[in-house]
């Protein structure tokens, strides 16, 4: 069986690893010259509460896929900030911090170490041509361009990421998240440490380009007033959406290219692993791809509903949301249970701003 994988990111490498278990050695085409996703190094937080019913993301990858990932650190504290409120949640198993990008030790390189198949770097390929030459093609490019060209994409969020790796004094197990419509609209900003001296400070904004994102970034820095040194700046469009068909003839779509990034916080790395491995299983076993990834499809559908309400939030609404997070019940849900937080978020958002939403036309 001949299989081509377009993209050697998280989804593509996970697909290759799973195919190798079936004795299938795919051809892997990567346009960049090395592993590294978007081409810049930054830290990411894997928050276990966003993957429920999965309790522990790292253990899930090991148990279900045989993928062993070594995080940089555990997350034991998350600080939330809105315009007028501050809330802290603590716990021993809130999540993990990982390095993403071309640097050694990143999740990209850790995944690459699992596969035996060589990656063909610096390759520009045409998916339609590959579909004629191979039995199956897996599109795992980490961008929506190919499904767009094939008429198989709908954008939910036209996002833009602007940030920097910064130097200062930090708590290495604490992630910080900000909500403020003055400089990130209905998106959010976050800080994830590398260690106690370095971290990634990022804003996620919507429906603006590079110039607007830079203005928002400057307002953000002026507002938080951190004593930091900017080491390197990075920026990139980050459009999130969903595909109409995750499998079209002999082409399967995985990771972001398959619509597996959530439309609320843009978490997608665990879903990228799962979708890539599931695409491989669908190919090797003839299984139903949609059925294999049904939990992620349901999760993202719920989050699209939440996003619809959050897009109407004012700063007062974000303040109220943080007061809800401060409630003892919410803290218990986060730290001591395995309740599906996404369903709760959907209910809370709807209760807060449903009066601002026009009925959906079906």
What's the CATH fold of domain 3-304?
FAD/NAD(P)-binding domain (3.50.50)
Would you kindly state where each structural domain of the chain is located, as residue ranges?
A: 3-304
Find the mean pLDDT for residues 56-62.
94
- Beta pairing, strands 42-47 & 73-81: unpaired
Please report, rounded to a whole number, the percentage of residues in the chain having pLDDT higher than 70. 92
Which residue, among 48, 5, 51, has the nearest Cα to 30 in the 3D structure? 5
At residue 29's C-alpha, the angle toward residues 26 and 33, to 5°, is 135
The reported pLDDT for the residue numbered 310 is 86
The Cα–Cα gap between 177 and 357 comes to 26
**Would you say residue 276 has pLDDT above 70?**
yes
Q: CA dihedral defined by 273, 279, 282, 287, rounded to 10 degrees?
A: 70
- At 70-101, the pLDDT tens digits run 999 999 999 999 999 999 999 898 999 999 99
The reported pLDDT for the residue numbered 348 is 67
**Would you say residue 347 has pLDDT above 90?**
no
CA distances to 92, 101, 343 from 74, in Å? 8, 19, 25
Q: Where are the beta strands (DSSP E) in the chain?
A: 3-6, 27-30, 42-47, 73-81, 86-100, 119-121, 136-139, 154-167, 174-178, 188-193, 198-206, 229-242, 247-248, 251-253
184, 90 contact by CB (below 8 A): no
The reported pLDDT for the residue numbered 361 is 38
The reported pLDDT for the residue numbered 362 is 33
- What is the pLDDT confidence band of residue 360, given thresholds at 50, 70 and 90? very low
- At 234-243, the pLDDT tens digits run 999 999 999 9
Find the mean pLDDT for residues 117-135.
97
The reported pLDDT for the residue numbered 242 is 94
Find the mean pLDDT for residues 195-205.
97
- What is the pLDDT confidence band of residue 355, given thresholds at 50, 70 and 90? low
**Would you say residue 121 has pLDDT above 60?**
yes
The reported pLDDT for the residue numbered 52 is 77
Token pair 């148990």: residue? 63
What number of other Cβ atoms are within 10 A of residue 55's Cβ?
Answer: 12
Identify the sign of the CA torsion 132, 138, 141, 143. Answer: positive
The reported pLDDT for the residue numbered 305 is 81
Terminal CA-CA length for the chain: 42
At residue 67's C-alpha, the angle toward residues 62 and 68, to 5°, is 75
Question: Would you state the structure tokens that stand for residue 43, as one six-digit string?
Answer: 């830290």
Find the mean pLDDT for residues 126-142.
97
Backbone angles phi, psi at 74, to 5 degrees: -85, 155
- What is the pLDDT confidence band of residue 128, given thresholds at 50, 70 and 90? very high
């Amino acid at each position: 069986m001949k299989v081509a994988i377009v993209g050697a990111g998280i989804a593509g490498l996970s697909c290759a690893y799973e195919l190798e278990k079936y004795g299938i050695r795919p051809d892997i085409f990567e346009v960049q010259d090395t592993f590294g996703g978007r081409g810049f190094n930054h830290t990411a937080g894997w928050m276990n509460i966003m993957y429920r019913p999965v309790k522990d993301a790292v253990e899930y990858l090991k148990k279900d896929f045989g993928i062993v990932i070594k995080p940089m650190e555990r997350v034991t504290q998350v600080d939330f900030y809105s315009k007028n409120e501050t809330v802290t949640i603590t716990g021993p198993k809130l999540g993990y911090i990982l390095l993403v990008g071309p640097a050694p030790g990143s999740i990209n390189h850790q995944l690459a170490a699992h596969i035996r198949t060589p990656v063909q770097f610096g390759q520009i390929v045409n998916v339609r041509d590959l579909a004629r030459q191979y039995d199956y093609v897996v599109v795992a490019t980490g961008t929506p361009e190919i499904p767009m060209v094939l008429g198989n994409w709908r954008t939910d969020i036209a996002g833009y990421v602007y940030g920097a790796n910064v130097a200062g004094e930090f708590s290495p197990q604490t992630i910080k998240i900000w909500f403020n419509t003055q400089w990130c609209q209905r998106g959010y900003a976050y800080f994830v440490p590398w260690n106690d001296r370095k971290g990634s400070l990022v804003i996620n904004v919507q429906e603006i380009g590079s110039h607007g994102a830079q203005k928002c970034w400057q307002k953000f820095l002026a507002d938080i007033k951190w004593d930091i040194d900017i080491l390197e700046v990075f920026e990139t469009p980050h459009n999130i959406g969903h595909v109409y068909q995750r499998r079209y003839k002999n082409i399967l779509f995985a990771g972001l290219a398959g619509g597996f990034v959530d439309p609320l916080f843009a978490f997608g790395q665990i879903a990228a692993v799962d979708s890539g491995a599931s695409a491989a299983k669908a190919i090797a076993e003839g299984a139903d791809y949609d059925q294999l990834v049904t939990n992620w499809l349901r999760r993202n559908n719920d989050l699209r509903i939440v996003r619809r309400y959050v897009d109407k939030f004012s700063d007062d609404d974000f303040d109220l949301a943080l007061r809800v997070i401060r409630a003892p019940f919410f803290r218990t849900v986060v730290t001591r249970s395995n309740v599906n937080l996404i369903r709760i978020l959907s209910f809370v958002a709807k209760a807060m701003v449903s009066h601002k939403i026009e009925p959906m036309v079906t």
